[in-house]
Each structure stands twice: as structure tokens, then as C-alpha cells.
Amino acid sequence: MNDPFKEAGATRKVLKADEEAAGRLDSWLTAALAGDFSRNRIKSLIEQGAVLVNGAAVTEPKRKVHPGDVIEVGLPEPEDPVPQGEDIPLDVLYEDDDLIVICKPAGLVVHPGAGNWTGTLVNALIHHCGESLSGIGGVRRPGIVHRLDKETSGVMVVAKNDAAHRHLSAQFADHGRTGPLERAYQAAVWGRPRQLRGVIDAPLGRAGDRTKRAVKREESEDAREAITHYEVVERYGEKPDSTCLASLVECHLETGRTHQIRVHMAHIGHPLIGDPDYGLAFKTKANLLPPAAKVVVNAFDRQALHAYMLQFEHPASNEIMHFEAPIPDDMEALLQALRALD
């Protein structure tokens, strides 16, 4: 009998599903391997025959996992975890010996990880800054004190030495409650919140997919405090009953959880336009738009979210630093199409 692991050139790892195991094999394995490999990579390994369940090869990623299943997986040699500098253009808003402030474009991953070992912001920063980046974040996240989702654009600050890293990290950990740190985002959402200004106070935790988040009950083990302040600044396609087809919302974070704005806006019934994770149920809303706007909205292939403002205290001079970045061209084109509704 052929060894299904031989072709994969892999190291054999044996896992046993616990009594609460459920769901798809590819999803379960991705979570069980603690994020070492992306779900797409795990799916590929299954399809290659590099996974056995109870001694039998399984090539269907959708195969259900049951309590007690013994799962063997052939893990390929790990990719080089030490990022190298790459000549990737950076939009630098400010730079000195302590820090660098950039405007991250949509589509750029912040730091290397499973499925994204190259082509990240960290690779660009290593090339641009050389060895001056702070090492506190580790080899994969040098200088990184906060992050933006891959498809979210906007202002970020990166530490260039360890003292700056500690100072900036403390400000982000405090979330601006006792200091000058402030973060503001612009988001294009479906519909219009009933209240034009409000606060969303809803704890977040992991959803079924390890990469996603969901609103949780406060007593949930993984629930983390999450507070978003929002204000509607523009309304598009307003109707006589004061409802709208879409809105531009400004959000200020009081906490900084993964996907916070995206989950919170979806939670109150107004997901971000283009959001592939939390707004798919609203995708057909584009059918209510005039043809010209419908084309633009359907072509917008990311969440309409831009971190337009960042304010913090400089770690060396204690000066209050304030930076703003204009909405990028793709999102501006989306807003112009929505403004044309009126």
C-alpha cells in the first residue's frame, strides 16, 4: 500500500478529536494546528491525500469530524519564518529616529504568517528601515504595535527602537482612555443606523472560523470588551421615511479588537459594503441601486473601511502627533457613485 505522506514529503502528526469535535475536516485541522497553516493550505493537503482519518485516506475537505476520530496529517517542511526585506513602495507620512508613520494600502498584509510569508508591510519596512526596527515584536512583527486588516487601508505607526515600541504599545493598550491616543475610521455601510450617533458596546470573541469574530455574551469564556463610537456623516439614496440605501459612518475605537468595526456594524444591521465575511447577506442590496452605481458597488471587492486618522504621543518628545490620510481612490469612487443617488 502506498504511503499517502510520502509524496507530500511531510512529517507525520497524529491528532485525536475530543468529545466536542464537530464541523468540516479542513476547518477542524486549521484550528487544531493553531494557525500554523492557512485553511487553503490544509484543504490542499487533504486533496493531495496527506490526511488519514481512522487509518483511511480522506481527500474531501468537507468530510465531517466526529468525537474520537484519529487524524493523521502529513505536515510539509515549515517555510522560512524570518522575513526578509523587499522593495515594496511605502506611502510614508512621517519618519524620524524613533518611529515611522505610513498609509497602508488595501491588499497589503501587515506581518508574515501562514499563507503570507512574503510581500507584507514588515518585508517593506525591513527594506526601508534596515536594522533600525524595534525587535520587541519578534522576527515576524518587528516594530509592529498595532495592525489593520489586509483589506483595510489607512494610517499606521511603527516603532524603530525598543523604547519607542514600549511607549507606543502602552498607549494602544490604554486605548486612549487616559492619554491622547485616538483612532478614527470611515466606513461605507448598507442602510442607515436608526440613531445617527451612538455607541456599540458588545463583547467580541472567536466565531466558528478561527479567523472570524462574533458578538458574545459577557459570560462567555472568550468574550472581550469591545466598544465602538459611531456617527453617520453622509446618507445616500435617502427615502421619505428617512431610511437610506447606504451611509458613510465615522467610527472611533474605545477598544481595539480584531474586526471590531466590521462585526459591530453588522451586529446593528448595517454591515460594511464589500465585506466578504460579515456582509454577504446584504450583497443583493446592490440590486436596488441604479445601473451605474450597481456596477461600481459590485466591483468593490473589499470591506469599505479606511483608518483615516491616528493621534498619539511621540515616545521621545511627548509631542502630540496627529495624522490623517485621504480616502483611497477605490473607496472614493464608491462614495461618488453613492453620492450620485441623491
Give the CA angle between residues 111, 96, 173 to the nearest 5°.
50
What whole-number distance in Å separates Cα of residue 322 and Cα of residue 342? 33
201 flagged as catalytic:
no
- Classify 28 as helix, strand or coil: helix
Q: Which residue of the set 69, 98, 149, 277 is catalytic?
A: 149
φ, ψ for residue 92, nearest 5 deg: -85, 120
Q: 228 forms bridges with which residues in the sheet?
A: 200, 253
Largest CA distance in the chain: 72
Q: Please, what is the angle between helix 329-339 and helix 291-299, to 10°?
A: 160
Secondary structure letter of residue 287 according to DSSP: G
What whole-number distance in Å separates Cα of residue 59 and Cα of residue 45? 8
Secondary structure letter of residue 113 according to DSSP: B
Scored b (16 or more CB within 10 A) or e, 108-128 reads bbbbbbbebbeebbbbbbbeb
What whole-number distance in Å separates Cα of residue 198 and Cα of residue 201? 10
What whole-number distance in Å separates Cα of residue 232 and Cα of residue 282? 19
- The Cα-based distances of 102 to 44, 95, 145, 195 in angstroms read 35, 9, 13, 34
- The Cα-based distances of 283 to 106, 187, 266, 278, 340 in angstroms read 20, 16, 13, 10, 20
Give the CA angle between residues 289, 293, 295 to the nearest 5°.
105
User: Would you please indicate which residues are annotated as catalytic (active-site) residues?
Assistant: 149
